[in-house]
Amino acid sequence: QAHLDRIAAVDGDVHAYLHVNDAALAEASAIDAKRAAGERLPELAGVPVAIKDVLCTIGMPSTAGSRMLEGWVPPYDATVVERMKAAGLIALGKTNMDEFAMGSSTEHSAFGPTRNPWNLERIPGGSGGGSAAAVAAFEAPFALGSDTGGSIRQPAAVTGSVGVKPTYGGVSRYGAIALASSLDQVGPVSRTVLDSALLHDVVGGHDPKDSTSLTGAWPSFAEAARAGRRDGSLKGLRVGVVKQIADGEGFQAGVTQRFRESLELLADAGAEIVEVSAPNFEYAVAAYYLILPAEASSNLAKFDSVRFGLRVTPEGGGTVEQVMAATREAGLGDEVKRRIILGTYALSAGYYDAYYGSAQKVRTLIQQDFSAAFAQADVLVSPAAPTTAFKLGEKLDDPLAMYLNDITTIPANLAGVPGIGLPMGLAPEDGLPVGIQFMAPAREDARLYTVGAALE
């Protein structure tokens, strides 16, 4: 009830939600009744969760921020949603996002932007700005997001929240409307490191329905976070500062200042700070913006006016192709069209090797950079985003400026390694939240929870 009241009070301004689950209270009461009857329930039973609208939910619309899917109600739950419900967690509603998760500001949502609760003139990050804003505005205790190039970590950073992109394959993608399948990961957003760990424990682990899901057991992330909280010492931990994404051009002065102070905090806690070089990170954004559109153009081909959602028939009727074209013209926004055009171009005969092939080679080089860096350090560190939340409209007409904002987060997706973003104070020049990011080798997500919780 407290969260529903909060949504009623502030969401008119923040617009974090696209849909609120009107059965949430009844579902919570049912949990209460079970508990009153002495039934033993999982730890988080009854706690509400906000769900990014890219995740399929039975009985609730799932639009991925697109007109193309307006009003579409999936016939099944995403695996993460199914697991969350099985643990007694309550779906509070669906959160706003850039259309099909393309963007860094949530301004590309077909249903209007979300605003940053810290300052309503500022963006909440993207693509999962709704999930992060809901958490930051106390409209949800935690939320699920998806991170293809930073869409969990960057919104967390600019709203003063915690966000985790798990190891690729660590959390099921089944039922997550695909953007770029080799990069997408579902993960938690919360106000504390432990809360993210708790949610990750519930939704993570092998899923036979996702062909890229990792097999084998995972440690308890909550335990890892609790260990970090208890101990607080980082003695013996080697923290690698990645030169290429630590500071320099495009990094706001206040972000750099807070980042340097954080390094001192880490050293005070006993960590050894080492500088590492990842020379190919410089090309990460360029490679990503070829690989992502290529995969997205293929994934989005299913929105053909027949199988899902919108169908627009030209006046007087039309051929299958004309209906398809009219539907995609009306149903997809400019950013989505831009990326489909980029992607189909990069994949076309004669250009495939030059663009897509080269980008894949750069991706391998970036993976090698990570391997070399992890030989020198247990975790890598950088600012979670190069700037604090920018003003609504500021980068909307400049896609390149918007893309460059992803420099700190994209490398982890290209290599499939886990990353956590957490708050590191406010920037002196604008009083807005600044985030720090840690990355660990694949499958070492637990390390991030321990380090994050120790620093918190």
Cross-strand pairs, 20: 93
Minimum distance of ligand GLN from residue 105's CB (angstroms) = 8
Helix (H) or strand (E) holding 274: strand 272-276
* Residue 21 DSSP code: -
Between 64 and 422, name the residue whose CB sits nearer to ligand GLN.
Answer: 64
Helix (H) or strand (E) holding 201: helix 193-203
Minimum distance of ligand GLN from residue 152's CB (angstroms) = 7
Between 127 and 262, name the residue whose CB sits nearer to ligand GLN.
Answer: 127
**Residue ranges binding ligand GLN (CB under 6 A):** 101-104, 127, 147-151, 179, 292, 406
262 is known as an active-site residue = no
Between 157 and 179, name the residue whose CB sits nearer to ligand GLN.
Answer: 179
Cross-strand pairs, 196: none
Helix (H) or strand (E) holding 20: strand 17-20
Between 262 and 413, name the residue whose CB sits nearer to ligand GLN.
Answer: 413
Q: Which residue has the tokens 């969350």?
A: 84
Cβ neighbours of residue 262 closer than 8 Å, sequence gap 6 or more: 381, 424, 436, 455
Of 62, 104, 151, 161, which is the active-site residue?
151
Cβ burial, residue 454 (10 Å; 0-12/13-18/19+): buried
Cβ neighbours of residue 148 closer than 8 Å, sequence gap 6 or more: 101, 127, 179, 180, 183, 184, 185, 292, 413
| DSSP strands (E only) in 125-212 | 142-147, 162-165, 185-190
Between 62 and 127, name the residue whose CB sits nearer to ligand GLN.
Answer: 127
| DSSP strands (E only) in 136-260 | 142-147, 162-165, 185-190, 238-242
Between 179 and 198, name the residue whose CB sits nearer to ligand GLN.
Answer: 179
* Residue 281 DSSP code: G
Measured CA to CA, the distance from residue 157 to residue 124 in angstroms comes to 9
* Residue 332 DSSP code: S
Between 151 and 299, name the residue whose CB sits nearer to ligand GLN.
Answer: 151
Between 318 and 399, name the residue whose CB sits nearer to ligand GLN.
Answer: 399
In the numeric block, which tokens belong to residue 239?
């923290």
Query: Residue 319: phi, psi to the nearest 5?
Result: -75, 170
Of 62, 105, 127, 382, which is the active-site residue?
127
Cross-strand pairs, 273: 239
Please report the DSSP string for 436-452 in residue order: EEEE--TT-HHHHHHHH
Between 150 and 333, name the residue whose CB sits nearer to ligand GLN.
Answer: 150
Is the separation of the CB atoms in 155 and 433 below 8 Å? no
Minimum distance of ligand GLN from residue 99's CB (angstroms) = 10
Minimum distance of ligand GLN from residue 2's CB (angstroms) = 30
For residue 367, how many other CB atoms are within 10 A of its CB? 17
Give the strands of the sheet with 17-20, arranged side by side. 17-20, 90-95, 48-52, 142-147, 185-190, 162-165, 419-426, 433-439, 379-383, 238-242, 272-276
Minimum distance of ligand GLN from residue 227's CB (angstroms) = 29
Minimum distance of ligand GLN from residue 390's CB (angstroms) = 13
85 is known as an active-site residue = no
Closest residue to ligand GLN, based on beta-carbon distance = 151
Measured CA to CA, the distance from residue 167 to residue 173 in angstroms comes to 12
Measured CA to CA, the distance from residue 233 to residue 436 in angstroms comes to 18
151 is known as an active-site residue = yes
Minimum distance of ligand GLN from residue 237's CB (angstroms) = 28
Distances (CA, A) of 400 to 44, 141, 162, 393: 42, 34, 26, 14
Would you please indicate which residues are annotated as catalytic (active-site) residues? 52, 127, 151
